């Protein structure tokens, strides 16, 4: 079962209380692929510049990720983002954003990428997400976005969201998108649109993540217990990578599977376990050589942490 | 199984985006009793003034709560707090705090209150919490506090925390108390003290609550899904009331029970279900006449929302 992912492939400049990286591989599709490749085959679609060397491409191809649809633009420069995190790591300032080759990106998917059974539209301009979606016919598709597109391309984003099975956004973005007073109300508002996904995953940073399904189901995964976080960059994308990777692996085992609340609840566990490794070093540096068994250990730890055997008592009338 | 609770009994002035209340019954012990009384017998210890009428006392006595140890101070005035919530309801400004009868409060517990098997030290000056703890010999005791006492009475608070089984604090308070970089690290820091509780419950507002136990266990309860919150006042105290009330009910059914991770995980569910009703109206107004079955329905809904059947997939090496 193959996942096609479209999104940014980038260089990041990072400053956190734990150190500095001037220019390391990053971008939403890059981080996603590092995580999803633990679970299944991944094909990456997106442009890079001449400055993206074979060495960088080899990192993108970790655990067999296919890079045939990565377009190297002659004379172009790779997307560059530079940010500085505040001491609590919950907030950051963007210092530089250079779109470079993404300014004129017009995605053209190979037949192999079109044929993938699972599609992930990582954060990128909604028009590009829609163009990729239109070229594909996946069994299951998910989408991530960001506040910028809610501000400047809301109609396109709403249309894009209506064309996928699962929306993945963070708390502030979901509330900004709907102007609803609670996260639950925000999810219900999206489910009320003319075209809407059947599931919404709300990322809540150091508080974990919540699942809502259109049929009234839900689940909450805690953040993985860590003593410290080194760099949150890519946490959301590796969470999505583990989540979507898990869904793809389940669909590989049972092609007739319905991706329902129970499947997605487990998917949140797998996404969280994968992302928890990512935040322990800069960029996706910890994931490159990480054995799957290290992710598996954290999946099992999370299973212990969410275990509940109902033990009722009588309440007074 | 009886719970003795010591803490503030107050009048509150409240302003939220949904309305205003000039002066309604409130205070930590009051809110706690409204919730815990769904589960077991409660005895309240604390002072009030002449202005606390029989009608107010009758509200405090909801569901049979015993008020024999509520001291009515002749010529005194009841504690008064006035606050205004911001639009998102996550933050508030204190407009007025009048300690009144609490300035000179010296708790004296009746034999019946001393004999209670469960003790809850609601938020109040840590010296008073320690005085009450010293007069009691409960099977199980829990304590809540606030940022003010971390600022001005940290040593007393640390000593008080070392004398109970379970610490209940909110996220910011726990991090302020320990200066640790993550909630998990903050809990481990407290467990490392010379004297420490065996369990810590971290309240996370609209993100739910997390349990940590000294033996490495944990659990996370989501916030109950609501379309809107009317007034968060007393949410933490009614959460504690449901939580401690559940523990007392379990101890009543099995006096030899060890209050371990599994018991406390269920206790978090019961606390959340109870608190979710409280925030739907001002003060504890919704709880006065609420049937236990309404709380029970939400307990069952939460059981559905946390249910997970592990469904593993193979990860790549």
Place of tokens 């990041």: A12
Do B10 and B78 meet the contact criterion of CB atoms below 8 Å apart?
yes
Residues of chain B in contact with residue A253, where contact means CB-CB under 8 angstroms, are: 313
Binning pLDDT at 50, 70 and 90, where does residue B1 land? confident
With H, G, I as helix, E, B as strand and everything else as coil, classify residue A4: strand
What's the distance, CA B42 to chain centroid? 13
Total-model pTM: 0.96
Beta bridge partners of A207: none
Q: Which of residues 246-285 of B touch A (CB under 8 A)?
A: 246, 249-250, 253, 262-263, 265-266, 269-270
Length in residues, chain A: 317
Class of domain B2-303: alpha beta
Our CA-based measurement puts residue B98 at a distance from the nearest CA of chain A, in whole angstroms, of 32
Using the predicted structure, report yes or no on whether residue A317 has a pLDDT greater than 90.
no
Q: What is the ipTM of this complex?
A: 0.94
- Of residues A207, A218, A310, nearest to B204 (C-beta): A207
Instruction: Encode pLDDT of B26-73 as tens digits.
Output: 999 999 999 999 999 999 999 999 999 999 999 999 999 999 999 999
pLDDT tens digits for B257-302?
Answer: 999 999 999 999 999 999 999 999 999 999 999 999 999 999 999 9
Question: Does the distance separating the beta carbons of B315 and A295 come in below 8 Å?
Answer: yes
Q: Where are the domains of chain B?
A: 2-303
> Which one of A206, A218, A220 has the shortest CB-CB distance to B182?
A206
Q: What is the pLDDT of residues A226-283, one digit of tens each?
A: 999 999 999 999 999 999 999 999 999 999 999 999 999 999 999 999 999 999 999 9
| For residue B25, pLDDT beyond 90 | yes
Q: Phi, psi (5° rounding) for residue A193?
A: -65, 160
Q: Is residue A55 within 8 angstroms of chain B, CB to CB?
A: no
pLDDT 10s digits, A195-207: 999 999 999 999 9
From the CA atom positions of chain B, what is the Rg in Å? Answer: 19
Task: Please state the separation of Cα A266 from the chain's center in Å.
Answer: 16
To the nearest whole number, what is the mean pLDDT of chain B?
96
Query: Which fold is adopted by the domain A2-305?
Result: 3.40.1190
B225 interfacial to chain A (CB closer than 8 Å): yes
Residue A88 clears pLDDT 90, i.e. is over it: no
Compute the mean pLDDT over every residue in chain A, rounded to the nearest whole number.
96
The full DSSP string for B194-205 is: SS--SEEEEE-G
**Cβ of A210 under 8 Å from any chain B Cβ?**
yes
3-state secondary structure B283-298: CCCCCCCCCHHHHHHH
Q: Over 90: is that where the pLDDT of B87 sits? A: no
To the nearest 10 degrees (0 to 180), the angle between helices B235-253 and B28-36 is 40
Whether the CB of A316 is below 8 Å from some CB of chain B: the reply is yes
Give the pLDDT score at B317. 83
């Amino acid at each position: 079962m193959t996942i096609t992912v479209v999104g940014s492939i980038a260089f990041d400049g990072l400053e956190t209380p734990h150190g500095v990286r001037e220019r390391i591989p990053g971008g939403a599709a890059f981080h996603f692929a590092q995580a999803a490749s633990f679970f299944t085959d991944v094909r990456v679609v997106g442009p890079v510049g001449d400055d993206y060397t074979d060495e960088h491409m080899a990192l993108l191809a970790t655990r067999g990720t296919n890079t045939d649809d990565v377009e190297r633009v002659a004379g172009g420069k790779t997307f560059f983002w530079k940010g500085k995190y505040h001491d609590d790591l919950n907030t950051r300032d963007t210092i530089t954003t250079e779109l470079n080759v993404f300014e004129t990106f017009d995605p053209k998917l190979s037949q192999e990428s079109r044929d993938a059974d699972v599609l992930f539209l990582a954060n990128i301009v909604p028009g590009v997400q829609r163009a990729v979606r239109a070229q594909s016919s996946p069994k299951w598709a998910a989408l991530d976005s960001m506040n910028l597109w809610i501000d400047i391309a809301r109609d396109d984003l709403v249309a894009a969201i209506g064309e996928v099975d699962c929306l993945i956004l963070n708390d502030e973005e979901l509330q900004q998108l709907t102007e609803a007073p609670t996260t639950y109300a925000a999810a219900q508002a999206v489910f009320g649109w003319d075209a809407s996904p059947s599931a919404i995953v709300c990322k809540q940073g150091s508080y974990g993540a919540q699942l809502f399904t259109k049929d009234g189901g839900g689940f909450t995964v805690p953040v993985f217990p860590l003593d410290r976080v080194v760099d949150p960059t890519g946490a959301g994308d590796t969470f999505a990578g583990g989540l979507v990777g898990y869904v793809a692996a389940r669909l590989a085992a049972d092609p007739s599977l319905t991706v329902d609340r129970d499947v997605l609840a487990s998917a949140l566990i797998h996404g969280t376990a994968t992302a928890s490794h990512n935040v322990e070093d800069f960029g996706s540096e910890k994931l490159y050589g990480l054995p799957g068994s290290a992710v598996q250990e954290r999946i099992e730890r999370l299973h212990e942490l969410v275990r509940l055997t109902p033990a009722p008592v009588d309440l007074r009338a």
